[in-house]
Structure 1
Amino acid sequence: MSSPAPELVTPGKGRGLRDVVHNRYLLRLIVDKEIQIRYRGTVLGLVWSYLKPGVQFAVFYIAMGVFLGLNRGLTNFAVYLFAGIVLINFFSEIFGNASRSITDNGGLLKKIYLPRQLFPVSNLFVALVHFVPQILILIVASVATGWFTGVDVKQILAIPVAIAIIAPFALGLGLMFATFNVFFRDAENFVDMILMVATWASPVLYAWTMVRDQLWSWVYYVYFLNPITVAVELFHYGFWYPTVNNPELWHVPPHLLTVWTPIALVISLITLFLGDAMFRRHEGNFAQEL
């Protein structure tokens, strides 16, 4: 007896992010390739994971902490600042590199077929490689300023929740702009502008109370609809707030855990879903457009 013919599948059409799970070996190879390419020919290699955020921190600390006086207004401003920088760098690396991942690998995509989602997702794991050493430095700095004496379970749990907000949000945006970038190369310029604004549109270099006190009331609510804002405040809540000797001098944003965090998680997941849907709809045309 002859076996039934297998169901035909449209060429170039995958199952979206589900294909990444079934191609973990290929994902690992691409992640290794991305790391090797990034540090090929360099002397310091992965040390740049420490050096670049360190220089960035020093510049912002001098500009915002010393010159503008935030160092005197916020206790342990160095921990506050570095917590925000670590998280915004994580977002920037995922989003920026994922948005360029298809055009950067155009030569490979035109030769063979493999799930296109592997390239944007690989940048998430590369970003994690750089994110971990920065987190370790942040933990050491927090412990040195009294983190153990004031931390509780909710503050510890806030840290992975912040990461769970940023990762799908950045990847979803990366999938969207990776698609745009194939058809419209102007998309790279929009990505650069978004990354520039993202640092200032979230409380990385200043306190959220400045938005509440100096702008219109409706801006405050729009401000906290930004998942990056919520994630940064969760990082502050987890790393910086336990180091403050007088917590009553600094207020946790109202409803941060009960309202804004669930909203941010939902927005991040919706962004990921929309990014994956857009990517899947157009991925069949990537090779010919490239």
Structure 2
Amino acid sequence: MSGGAPTSREERREARASHPMAKETIEESRDGRKRNAAKRARKMARKKADSMPVVEALEAPQQTRVVEGELVTPAPAGGVVGLFKAPYLLRLLVRREIAKMYSASVLGLLWSYIQPGLRFGVYYLVFGVLLDVQRSLPNFAIHLFCGIVFTHFFSEVFNGGTRSIWENRTLVKKMAMPRETFPIAHVIVGYYHIFPQILLLFICCLLSGFRTDLTGVVALFLGTAIISVFGMAVALLFSAVNVYYRDFQNVTGTITQMLHFMVPMMYGWDRIAGFQPTHPVLVQLYLANPVCDSVILLQRFFWTGVNMADGDLGHNAELPPHMLERGGITLACCLVFLVLCQWAFSRLEHKFPERL
């Protein structure tokens, strides 16, 4: 429609914009927004100035800091020697392993004594009573219990140490720490478990009229050192290999099941010595087992001490000859084996994160 009022929205907007009064109103509105924005900016600047005062720079002579010494890695040094330099970490892991082992358990720590006690009862009934070994072996209960205590210690260290790296794979992948801590912690946990058993064994020996001599005391420390060093060595080696091949934790379980028959605890040494004339090589292979040597040395202290009190000195001769010399050689071999296991562990641990 020509000559009439604008009909569309665009035409009405154009008509208002072209009006002289409309232009002045738009310009005033823009100026008002600019003034308000500037006012808010000044207000915010004053508030920031009050909350964060500006400190004038101090003029002082600048000094160059010189660090004397080589830069070292922040990760702790590895190795068994470096591990014992950080005893706090080792104690922490020992407490963690004990708490994890008995979490949600009613009997808790008592299971460490129930299992060896049941094994002792079964072995004593079968071998001591049914097979009548106790007739030819005086103080058979002390002889058997001494072997069970220390083979149980080695089995616990061997099995737990082999699984230690795999079971703690979350910590191994995230924390910089000596990875030897995990298998070594199981050695301390093993002693934590068998200490009351050793105390009970010693009390039983005292009640039986225990006596000892210097040879028995040396045999005690020598046997304890052998089983500790050898258990530490195999725990280190098998824990590293088990990361690559998980079959080794089943291998350790099989070995520890046969271990009770590979040491003279359910039978006397005289039965093994009877094969010396016909099978001397097998006898030497039997004595090459460090756990066997350790058990024999510990029986020299506990079991022989009771026999000495009873006046039965004839059974002392049934122990292997030159056992202290053999034990010293075995301990030296175990120390060399521990060094080799530490070297193998160090070579394999670099690929632990990707294998885990």
Scaled to the shorter chain, the TM-score interval is over 0.9
Which consecutive residues of structure 1, in runs of 5 or more, have no partner in the other structure? none
Moved more, 43-52 or 228-237: 43-52
Query: 1: CA distance between counterparts of 2:255 and 2:71?
Result: 43
Aligned length: 286
Which consecutive residues of structure 2, in runs of 5 or more, have no partner in the other structure? 1-63
Cα distance, 1:50 vs. partner? Answer: 2.2
In structure 1, the residue matched to 2:336 is: 270
In structure 2, the residue matched to 1:120 is: 183
Query: Measured at CA, do residues 3 and 249 of structure 1 come closer, stay the same or move farther in structure 2, by a change above 3 Å?
Result: closer
Q: Is the 8 A contact 1:14 1:280 kept in 2?
A: no
Report the 3-state secondary structure (helix = DSSP H, G, I; strand = E; otherwise coil) of the residue aligned with 1:120: helix
In structure 1, the residue matched to 2:82 is: 19
In structure 1, the residue matched to 2:235 is: 174
Matched, 1:234 2:300: no
Instruction: Calculate the aligned-residue CA RMSD, in Å.
Output: 1.8
Q: Give the 5 Å matches for 1:81-230.
A: 81-147=144-210, 150-214=211-275, 216-230=279-293
Query: 1: CA distance between counterparts of 2:273 and 2:137?
Result: 17
Moved more, 209-218 or 259-268: 209-218
Query: 2: CA distance between counterparts of 1:160 and 1:40?
Result: 34
Report the 3-state secondary structure (helix = DSSP H, G, I; strand = E; otherwise coil) of the residue aligned with 2:151: helix
In structure 1, the residue matched to 2:137 is: 74
Residue 322 of structure 2 is aligned with which of 248, 255, 270?
255
In structure 2, the residue matched to 1:6 is: 70
Query: Measured at CA, do residues 284 and 12 of structure 1 come closer, stay the same or move farther in structure 2, by a change above 3 Å?
Result: farther
> TM-score, normalised to structure 2's length?
0.76
Report the 3-state secondary structure (helix = DSSP H, G, I; strand = E; otherwise coil) of the residue aligned with 2:274: helix
Q: Is the 8 A contact 1:172 1:271 kept in 2?
A: yes
Counterpart of 1:51, as a letter, is I
Larger radius of gyration: 2
What percentage of aligned pairs have identical amino acids? 34
Report the 3-state secondary structure (helix = DSSP H, G, I; strand = E; otherwise coil) of the residue aligned with 2:163: helix
> TM-score, normalised to structure 1's length?
0.93
Counterpart of 1:254, as a letter, is P
Report the 3-state secondary structure (helix = DSSP H, G, I; strand = E; otherwise coil) of the residue aligned with 2:266: coil
Counterpart of 2:254, as a letter, is M
Q: Is the 8 A contact 2:78 2:179 kept in 1?
A: no
Residue 125 of structure 2 is aligned with which of 54, 62, 78?
62
Q: Which has the higher contact order (CA 8 A, sep 6+)?
A: 1
Cα distance, 1:154 vs. partner? Answer: 2.0
In structure 1, the residue matched to 2:47 is: none
